[in-house]
Structure 1
Amino acid sequence: MTPVGTPPSPPTEPLSPPADPLLSVRDLTMTFPGRRSRSAPVRAVDSVSFDVAAGETLGLVGESGCGKSTTGRMIVRLLEPTGGSVTYDGRDISHLAQRELRPLRREIQMVFQDPHSSLNPRQTVARIISDPLLVQGSAAVDARRRAVELMELVGLIPEHIDRYPHEFSGGQAQRIGIARSLATSPRLVVADEPVSALDVSVQAQIVNLMERLQRELGLAYLFIAHDLSVVKRVCDRVAVMYLGRIVEIGPKERVYTAPAHPYTRALLSAVPLPDPVAERGRERITLLGDPPSPAAPPPGCTFHPRCAKAQEICRSEAPTLSVATPGEPRQVACHFPEAA
């Protein structure tokens, strides 16, 4: 169901990464019913499209509440989309039954934001890591052997395998979560804010671990985050979301050095620079007001109430995601994008 006065976004066809995509998302939409009987439904994700190639890392960034985590949960089918499609390795998995999903879950796994809340406090680390294998039919002795191997792989002491989650620090608990996600040898991992709940020093360790695992195992990542400095470190391409829609997507170098959408420029201007002189001299862009409610988004471009460049067309017509500069592998949804 579409909120009154909110037409669905037009279909988009994003530029594919260099290789054939392992994951292909097209016009993915998630609409939640209103909390009250007469409340308007909330379109949390609105016609999102992107591809992820094998071995690639795509960063999905934006403010809290923009729909990043909901997108990730639909991809791993913790939520069923209300529209659009998710195609994995050439197969549409958008509406598969649970029985059909079981073998597929070997290849698509997820790392959650809060390491301690995502681990069962009543289970030992051995059980937590081996559970995905037991569900898939592995023998208990083989699953435990695999759990020991994964403990070593993620930098934990195998002798601690019979301890409980509360006996580990936040960084160690996140390593356990990563080990669990690797138990079935997946090809795609959806990492939902995997370092945001950790101390800065520990964040670097987890990022280094994820990069090493990607090189060694050939993993593809959908890396969901709001910290643009972390995304710049780990991602090959970046997709910027605002109020449920992708407003800019392209190679990391182009998005960071020459952002085309005013929202992307504002996000990047808030990232601290390590050089104090450069930090004092650069332009800081302040957005007007707060993000609109997804239950009652503004007409036209949803960013126009906060955009200093907004004109009349922005208030009446929603921009489509299109190529920013001819011949460039980047797209932007803006009537007046910044010149490259």
Structure 2
Amino acid sequence: MTTTPQPLLRVRDLAMSFPGRRARSAPVRAVDGVSFDVAAGETLGLVGESGCGKSTTGRMIVRLLEPTAGSVTYDGRDISHLSQRELKPLRKELQMVFQDPHSSLNPRQTVARIISDPLMVQGSSAADARKRTAELMELVGLIPEHIDRYPHEFSGGQAQRIGIARSLATGPRLVVADEPVSALDVSVQAQIVNLMGRLQQELGLAYLFIAHDLSVVKRVCDRVAVMYLGRIVEIGPKERVYAAPAHPYTRALLSAVPLPDPAAERARERITLLGDPPSPAAPPPGCSFHPRCPKAQAICRTEAPPLRVATPGETRQVACHFPEAA
């Protein structure tokens, strides 16, 4: 009897609510019962429109935010509510790359200080930390001789390489990449994506890759989870999700991705969703997507569909009462 290996990261029923802007207003449910696994060495893409809860989910996983409910289990240990003291030894294994490279780097610190700080916190000497910083700069494609420069002296792509080097300083096993290329020029995006792929192969990293650009996600991820209004509506292997999306929202997202073939682009069906996403402070009853769904029926307005296997015999799951046939 073979046993399924334990995932490196296990997220179950994760939720996050923020207080409303006014004293008596309803809380904002930014994340509402999210569950997924990430295996060692795997890349899971987390996609969806702005405001769907992707970044909040990533910040809870690395414990920059404490979940309102649910659990985050890393390497078999529940880290959902550990104190900062208890988290300290785990920080070196859980790191994050932020969206805007320049705003995530302290403009008053040199690159040497920015990259070496995590090492110093973990107990390295100043000399060892500086030596390791130079090695990391070379690893991510930066010139080690620029170690004493400041962030404003680097381009956006170079600044993001600094952010990646900082995340690798302590030798992590899991990196949460929150829109790591969306603030960069298209030509630079490819360089950063290639860099992250190479680092994953060389260092055995696992990624939670948060993005809204589905063409980038298709290139870098093994599996894809699609979020809408704080919930995962479809999750499964990249090939299945892109080739035959089961949820109407996933179909709409993929129909907006440009195709390189002009003839195919003109011939394909373009799905236009009506209206804007509802407010997470006042989500609609039943399926949260039903006000914009072209397939919505009576049950969709009253009963929220559970996330379940889309087709017998496969691992992909979809939260829809009337999923598309494979």
TM range (shorter): over 0.9
Q: Which residue of 1 aligns with 2:194?
A: 208
Give the 4+ runs in structure 1 shifted more than 2 A.
none
Q: Work out the CA distance in 2 between the residues paired with 1:311 and 1:328.
A: 26
User: In structure 2, what is the equivalent of residue 226 of structure 1?
Assistant: 212
Q: What is the aligned partner in structure 1 of residue 290 from structure 2? A: 304
**Match of residue 54 from structure 2:** 68
Alignment of 1:320 onto 2:301? no
Q: 1:106-125 alignment to 2 at 5 Å? A: 106-125=92-111
Structure 2 residue 218 is matched with structure 1 residue 217: no
Gaps of 5+ in 2: none
**1:84 maps to which of 62, 70, 79:** 70
Give the aligned residue type for 2:163.
Answer: G
**What SS does the aligned partner of 1:248 have?**
strand
Q: By how many angstroms is 1:20 displaced? A: 2.4
AA matched with 1:230: V
Supply the distance in 2 between the matched residues of 1:182 and 1:35 (Cα, whole angstroms).
Answer: 37
1:21 alignment partner, SS class: coil
Q: Once the 2 structures are TM-superposed, how far is the Cα of residue 38 of structure 1 from its aligned partner?
A: 1.0
Cα distance, 1:168 vs structure 2? 0.1
The TM-score with structure 1 as length reference comes to 0.95
Q: Name the residue aligned to 1:6.
A: none
CA distance in 1, matches of 2:293, 2:129: 53
Q: Partner amino acid for 2:209?
A: F
Give the Cα separation in 2 of the matches to 1:135 and 1:174: 22
2:275 corresponds to 1:289: yes
Tell me the equivalent position of 1:238. Answer: 224
Q: TM-score, normalised by structure 2?
A: 0.99
**Aligned counterparts of 2:85 and 2:204: Cα–Cα separation in 1:** 27
Structure 1 residue aligned with 2:81, among 83, 95, 98?
95
User: SS at the partner of 1:60?
Assistant: strand
**Larger mean Cα displacement after TM superposition, 18-27 or 201-210:** 18-27
The answer (yes or no) to whether the contact 2:45–2:221 under 8 Å persists in 1 is: yes
Q: Could you tell me how far apart the structure 2 residues matched to 1:222 and 1:123 are?
A: 28
- For 1:212 and 1:141, locate their aligned partners in 2 and report how far apart those are by CA, in whole Å: 28
Could you tell me which residue of structure 2 aligns to residue 58 of structure 1? 44
Task: Kindly indicate whether the alpha-carbon contact (under 8 Å) linking 1:63 and 1:242 is maintained by their aligned counterparts in 2.
Answer: yes
State the partner residue of 1:168: 154
1:197 aligns with 2:154: no
CA distance in 2, matches of 1:211, 1:20: 23
Give yes or no for the alignment of 1:331 onto 2:311: no
In structure 1, the residue matched to 2:256 is 270
Amino acid in structure 1 at the alignment position of 2:146? H
- Aligned residue pair count: 323
Distance in 2 separating the partners of 1:20 and 1:55? 13
2:30/2:53 contact within 8 Å kept: yes
2:121 corresponds, among 119, 125, 135, to 135
AA partner of residue 132 (structure 1): P
SS in 2 for 1:246: strand
Taking the aligned partners of 1:213 and 1:308, their CA distance within structure 2 comes to 42
1:244-274 CA-to-partner distances (Å, cap 9, x unmatched) read 0000000000000000000000000000000
Q: Give, in whole Å, the separation in 2 of the partners of 1:293 and 1:270.
A: 23
Q: Check the 8 A contact 1:109/1:182 in 2, yes or no.
A: yes
- Identity across the alignment (%): 90
Does the CA contact (< 8 Å) of 1:19 and 1:54 recur in 2?
A: no
Given that 2:236 and 2:317 are in contact with CA atoms closer than 8 Å, whether structure 1 keeps it comes out as: yes
Give, as a single letter, the amino acid of the residue that structure 2 aligns with 1:151.
M
